[in-house]
Chain A
Amino acid sequence: GDSVTQMEGPVTLSEEACLTINCTYTATGYPSLFWYVQYPGEGLQLLLKATKADDKGSNKGFEATYRKETTSFHLEKGSVQVSDSAVYFCALRLQGGSEKLVFGKGTKLTVNP
C-alpha cells in the first residue's frame, strides 16, 4: 500500500550544523508531498510542500525537492537553530480523488546551543 518512510530519530545537532532528514515514499501515480512540523506541546503545521516531480518546496530556510526517480523528498537546512527543535513529519497525498494524507512516523530533532 501507500506509505512514507522517514529516517529514524532522534537527531541531535549543534546550532549552525547542517540538517538532512530522509523521506522516501511508496505510491502509485504522482502524489503530492509535504513536510509538517510539530513544536513541543502544539499541533502540526505545514512547513513546505511540492506537488509535482522536480518541484522544490522551501520555507524558513528548509528545502525539499520532489525526486520522482528515487521516490524521495528529503528535508534539508544549511544551518539549524535551537528554535528548529521539533518533530518533523513527511506526508503524501495520493493523486486524484482522495483528500487523505499518509504520514511518516516522524523524526525528532533537538538542536543544542
Chain B
Amino acid sequence: NAGVTQTPKFQVLKTGQSMTLQCAQDMNHEYMSWYRQDPGMGLRLIHYSVGAGITDQGEVPNGYNVSRSTTEDFPLRLLSAAPSQTSVYFCASSYGTGVGANVLTFGAGSRLTVL
C-alpha cells in the first residue's frame, strides 16, 4: 500500500542510548520531514529534506540527526537520548511542487519513551 511507513511504533530507551527511527515512502515525494508531537505543544518540525542529499533544520533540531541518501528514506537519529525527547514522532512527506505540494502524508507515528 502506498504511503509513509514508520518503524518502530513503540520504543523505550534509557538515557544516553542511541537509536534510529525509520521512515520510508513509496510515492516519489521530494519533500520529507520529521515532527514531534507533545501535549499542549502541537507539532514541531525537527528536520526536513527537499530531496536526496539535501537536509535542513526545523524548529527543534537539537539532539537529532538526519540524512537523505535516497528519495524514499529519511531516518531520524537520536545520538544520546534524553528524557526530554520522550514524545510521539511523525514522519511526513509531500510533492515539492505542483497540485500536491504541501499536502502532507503522515506516517502512523512512533512513540518513544526515554527513561
Which residues of A sit under 8 angstroms from B40, Cβ to Cβ?
105
**B42 A46 Cβ-Cβ under 8 A:** no
Cβ-defined contact, B106 with A99, below 8 A: no
Say what secondary structure dominates the interface of chain A: strand
Interface residues on chain A, size class:
10 to 19
A-B contact count (CB 8 A): 51
Are A105 and B41 closer than 8 Å at their CB atoms? Answer: yes
Q: Is A18 an interface residue (CB 8 A)?
A: no
Taking a contact as CB atoms under 8 Å apart, the answer to whether B90 and A101 are in contact is no
A93 is an interface residue with CB less than 8 A from chain B: yes
Q: Enumerate chain A residues within 8 angstroms of B69, measured Cβ to Cβ.
A: none
- B79 at interface by CB-CB < 8 Å: no
Q: Which stretch from B14-22, B70-78, B96-104 is at the chain A interface? A: B96-104
Q: Which residues in B have their C-beta under 8 angstroms from that of A46?
A: 103-104
Other-chain residue from B96, B103, B108 in contact with A42 (beta carbon distance below 8 A):
B108
Determine if A32 and B102 form an interchain contact, defined as CB atoms under 8 angstroms apart. Answer: yes
Contact status B42-A103, CB under 8 Å: yes
B42 touches A44 (CB 8 A): no
Quick check: B108 and A93 within 8 Å, CB to CB?
Answer: no
User: Which listed residue, B41, B90, B92, B102, touches A93 by the CB 8 Å rule?
Assistant: B102
| Complex contacts, B44 vs chain A, CB 8 Å | 103
User: Which residues of A pack against B, CB within 8 Å?
Assistant: 32, 34, 36, 41-46, 49, 89, 93, 99-101, 103-106
Q: Contact: A100 with B33, CB < 8 Å?
A: yes
Shortest beta-carbon distance from B49 to chain A in Å: 10
Which B residues touch A99, using CB under 8 A?
31, 48, 50, 94, 96, 101-102
Residues of A with C-beta under 8 A to B41: 105
Across-interface contacts of B115 in A (CB, < 8 A): none
Contact residue among A49, A89, A100 (Cβ-Cβ distance under 8 Å from B58): A100
B43: interface (CB < 8 Å): yes
Residues of A near B43 (CB, < 8 A) are 44, 89, 103, 106
Shortest 9 CB-CB contacts between residues of A and residues of B = A43-B106, A105-B42, A103-B43, A44-B106, A99-B31, A93-B102, A103-B42, A43-B108, A106-B42
Q: Would you list 24 pairs from A and B whose C-beta atoms are within 8 A, ordered by A residue?
A: A34-B102, A36-B104, A41-B108, A43-B4, A43-B90, A44-B92, A45-B105, A45-B106, A46-B104, A89-B43, A99-B31, A99-B50, A99-B94, A99-B96, A99-B102, A100-B48, A100-B58, A101-B45, A101-B102, A105-B40, A105-B41, A105-B42, A106-B42, A106-B43
